[in-house]
Amino acid sequence: MQAEFWNDKRPAGVPHEIDLTAYKSIVEVFERSCKKFADRPAFSNLGVTLSYAELDRLSAAFAGYLQKHTDLKPGDRIAVQMPNILQYPIAVFGALRAGLIVVNTNPLYTAREMRHQFKDSGVRALVYLNVFGKLVQEVLPDTDIEFLIEARMGDMLPSLKGWLVNSVVKHLKKMVPDYQLPQAQGFKSVLRQGGGQSLKPVKVGLDDIAVLQYTGGTTGVAKGAMLTHGNLVANMQQIHACLSQLGDDGQALMKEGQEIMIAPLPLYHIYAFTANCMCMMVNGNHNILISNPRDIGAFIKELKKWRFSALLGLNTLFVALMDHPEFKDLDFSNLKVTNSGGTALVKATAERWQAITGCSVVEGYGLTETSPVASTNPYGDKARLGTVGIPVPGTAFKVIDDEGVEQPLGERGELCVKGPQVMKGYWQRPEATDEVLDAEGWLKTGDVAVIDPDGFVRIVDRKKDLIIVSGFNVYPNEIEDVLMTHPQVASCAAIGVPDERSGEAVKLFVVARAGGVTVEELKAFCRENFTAYKVPRHIVLRESLPMTPVGKILRRELRDIA
């Protein structure tokens, strides 16, 4: 279907097209917004709020340091490995202003996962939180990283409070294991050295890569999706367009420079990166960064301080919040937007949320490769539960059969997406790029969908064996490849099984070598090699696994058994 097919299906206020010539880069969006909303709050965390003017000044200081005190050139890669703290947007916007390519890195990665990402992307600089210093020290010799910038939790707080927070993190909570990285520059010192430097403007255009966002794509090994300034600027505008839907009062749902958005999802994940870190630039909104959303008590305590108007989350998070006894007492009078993404929304969760908060949860669809938002539901009573809505403005969907032939409305097929937010390709992997992107710019998603006659889209299955745990992609191949390095594993297979808390969980079937292996030994091995969401929740030892005549393990059969 062409993009025009959906034009008459959009709610009032949402434009059919976006102006792709409005901005030349993310940097331009950022600098324009910082001037326009200078006095407005941009980000708050740990009791400190940065205005747009302060974010402008601090990110310029960060960029000034990179230009003056390192030999990093535009196009070089810098990894940012931090939770949701104020240093994250300062570092990311600073790096982009210096013309660098940002490599978003999950702070909970194990050494094995960090090594792969840093080597594959050719990162030359790394900004990290000192809590992860020991891991950084471990992987550093195997990478090309020359410049280290070390943040501490209390960096952006007033000096006494900052010192206190850092002491608690290090000594009381024992969260900072001993390590030696004498070459690392402290984040505060970097801002001091870069402050007052005049920033050399960098020529970046819409076609230049802004971010390498790692994803498994359709196969196990993590690949860097090349997201350009054009991709991300387009997606910011597309999200902004959807939020321009008119409410019952005839006004746009989200008013420029007036909204308070809660950001519990990690900013290094593409969903929050674009929606909370980037899109708020276009509309001058205020983001409340939640550093540890797992601590539901502290999260709710933070929510009590704000009359928030938007919350981005996913099924697991909504359930955890609603299960807390104090959640129902929060002030929801200003809550207009609850967006769910990353993993399927459970109908019961959506209905319960609506009953408690008075705000409907709307579901959308996206991929790392689409920067990420490709479709979303209209807000309010126009939303259709069980669907991922309609494509965002300027985006076309179609479904195809195994031969690549487009299917009529109402028929199942692999969903393909075309639009200005579709990535440039995978970093240094032309074959992998050709597998998913055709010459016309259609991206094969690997998801099986139905486009209903009214234009709403339903995701009905996955072509690939992907497992989605709390919104994070887990690739069975990666789990299996690593487990096969265990001396006592003869063969294994990983599948996803339904899980009430996380949507899906990893279940692992293992055939042991002579001498055997215990489930506990396998669990310990997994914890050592995988970040928590990839660790199998269920491990089953078996005599054999179902196979094809040529020896390929039949995961589908295992799923049927499970």
| pLDDT tens digits for range 97-115 | 999 999 999 998 999 999 9
Q: What does the pLDDT average to over 482-503?
A: 92
For residue 549, pLDDT over 70 is answered with no
The rounded percent of the chain whose pLDDT value lies above 70 is 98
Which amino acid is present at 292?
A: N
Q: Where does the chain hold its CATH 3.40.50.980 domain(s)? A: 52-204
CA dihedral of residues 194, 197, 198, 199 (deg, nearest 10): -10
Question: Which token pair is 295?
Answer: 């601590």
Confidence bin at 550 (pLDDT 50/70/90): low
Distance CA 218, CA 225 (A): 12
Q: What is the pLDDT of residue 481?
A: 83
Q: What is the pLDDT of residue 559?
A: 87
Q: What is the pLDDT of residue 217?
A: 53
For residue 552, pLDDT over 80 is answered with no
The residue written with tokens 């359709």 in the block is: 218
For residue 461, pLDDT over 80 is answered with no
Tell me the torsion sign for CA atoms 97, 101, 104, 105. Answer: negative
Q: What is the pLDDT of residue 464?
A: 74
Phi, psi angles (nearest 5°) of residue 431: -65, -45
Asked if 543 and 511 touch (Cβ cutoff 8 Å), the reply is yes
Question: What tens digit of pLDDT does each residue of 198-250 get?
Answer: 899 999 999 999 999 998 654 567 899 999 999 999 999 999 999 999 988 89
Question: Which has the higher per-residue pLDDT, 377 or 491?
Answer: 377
Question: What tens digit of pLDDT does each residue of 279-318 get?
Answer: 888 999 999 999 999 999 999 999 999 999 999 998 889 9
Asked if 43 and 91 touch (Cβ cutoff 8 Å), the reply is no
Question: What tens digit of pLDDT does each residue of 53-71 get?
Answer: 999 999 999 999 999 999 9
Confidence bin at 81 (pLDDT 50/70/90): very high
Asked if 101 and 76 touch (Cβ cutoff 8 Å), the reply is yes
Name the pairing type of β-strands 467-469 and 503-512: unpaired
123-129 β-sheet, strand order: 185-186, 147-151, 123-129, 77-81, 101-104, 209-215, 223-228, 425-426
pTM: 0.90
Q: Where does the chain hold its CATH 3.30.300.30 domain(s)? A: 467-561
Q: Beta partners for 443? A: 417, 437
Question: Which token pair is 222?
Answer: 């993590």
CATH node for 52-204? 3.40.50.980
Q: Where does the chain hold its CATH 2.30.38.10 domain(s)? A: 395-462
Fold of 467-561: GMP Synthetase; Chain A, domain 3 (3.30.300)
Q: Which of 278, 240, 372 is nearest to 55 (CA)?
A: 278
Q: What is the pLDDT of residue 216?
A: 64
**What is the chain's mean pLDDT, rounded?**
94
Confidence bin at 463 (pLDDT 50/70/90): confident
* Domain boundaries 395-462, CATH class: mainly beta
Q: What is the pLDDT of residue 466?
A: 85
